[in-house]
């Protein structure tokens, strides 16, 4: 199953990410791709808000360190830890083995991997793939593809809630 969402501002991208982070189930893997500057890290920043991590201001691209961990806010029921990885500078999948990618998938947090197309063999079969493209200066097209039942439920829920938010004029 696949669907496409358009965001028309950085704020909308943040809000859409927040919705994904809120609705993602523990153990969810999200694979992000798109050119530099498309807004992948902005999307992850929103996911961190939705997952209710302790400090969303810490969200930044882990290009040089490979992995950033944003801990769940223990005071908030339903909060999830977000594991944010970046494959932009990796030479091969073995580098991700060194940071324990497979173990992260078992931690019951939300695992988000930027530049996922560089390490496709590492992705679990049930993951949500999101590819961003630039439509205009502030407009982004986000194509989502669900690779299994958990990801399909997330995709359906995100798409329905996003459409409702737009129809209710909650976003501009």
Q: What would the mean pLDDT of 99-122 be, rounded to a whole number?
A: 90
Residue 30 in tokens: 């999200």
The CATH number assigned to the domain holding 13 equals: 3.40.50.300
The answer to whether residue 87 is domain-embedded is yes
Range of the domain at 93: 2-167
* Mean model confidence pLDDT for the chain: 90
Pairing of strands 82-86, 110-114: parallel
The answer to whether residue 67 is domain-embedded is yes
Where is 167: in which H helix or E strand? helix 149-167
Of 62, 57, 61, give the one whose Cα is nearest residue 95.
62
- The whole-angstrom distance between residue 153's C-alpha and the CA centroid of its chain comes to 15
| pLDDT > 60? residue 1 | yes
The answer to whether residue 172 is domain-embedded is no
| pLDDT > 70? residue 106 | yes
Q: Is 3 left (phi over 0), alpha (psi -120 to 50) or beta?
A: beta
pLDDT computed for residue 169 by the predictor: 67
> pLDDT > 90: what percent of the chain?
63
pLDDT computed for residue 84 by the predictor: 94
pLDDT computed for residue 50 by the predictor: 96
The answer to whether residue 140 is domain-embedded is yes
pLDDT computed for residue 114 by the predictor: 93
- The count of domains in the chain is 1
| pLDDT > 80? residue 77 | yes
Total-model pTM: 0.92
At residue 19 the predicted structure's pLDDT band, cuts being 50, 70 and 90, is very high
Asked if residue 134 lies in contact with residue 51, where contact means CB atoms within 8 angstroms, the answer is no
pLDDT computed for residue 170 by the predictor: 62
Computed from CA positions of residues 42, 44, 50, 52, in that sequence, does the dihedral angle turn out positive or negative? negative
CA distance linking residue 65 with residue 143, whole number of Å: 27
């Amino acid at each position: 199953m696949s669907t496409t969402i358009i965001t028309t501002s950085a704020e909308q991208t943040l809000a859409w990410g927040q919705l994904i982070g809120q609705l993602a189930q523990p153990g969810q893997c999200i694979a992000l791709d798109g050119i530099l500057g498309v807004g992948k890290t902005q999307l992850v920043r929103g996911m961190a808000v939705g997952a209710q991590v302790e400090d969303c201001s810490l969200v930044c691209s882990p290009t040089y360190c490979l992995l950033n961990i944003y801990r769940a806010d223990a005071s908030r029921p339903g909060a999830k830890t977000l594991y944010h990885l970046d494959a932009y500078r990796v030479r091969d999948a073995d580098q991700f083995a060194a940071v324990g990618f497979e173990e992260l998938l078992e931690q019951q947090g939300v695992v988000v991997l930027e530049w996922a197309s560089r390490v496709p063999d590492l992705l679990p079969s049930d993951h949500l793939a999101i590819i961003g493209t630039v439509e205009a200066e502030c407009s982004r097209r986000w194509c989502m593809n669900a690779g299994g039942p958990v990801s399909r439920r997330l995709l359906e829920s995100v798409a329905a809630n996003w459409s409702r938010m737009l129809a209710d004029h909650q976003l501009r």
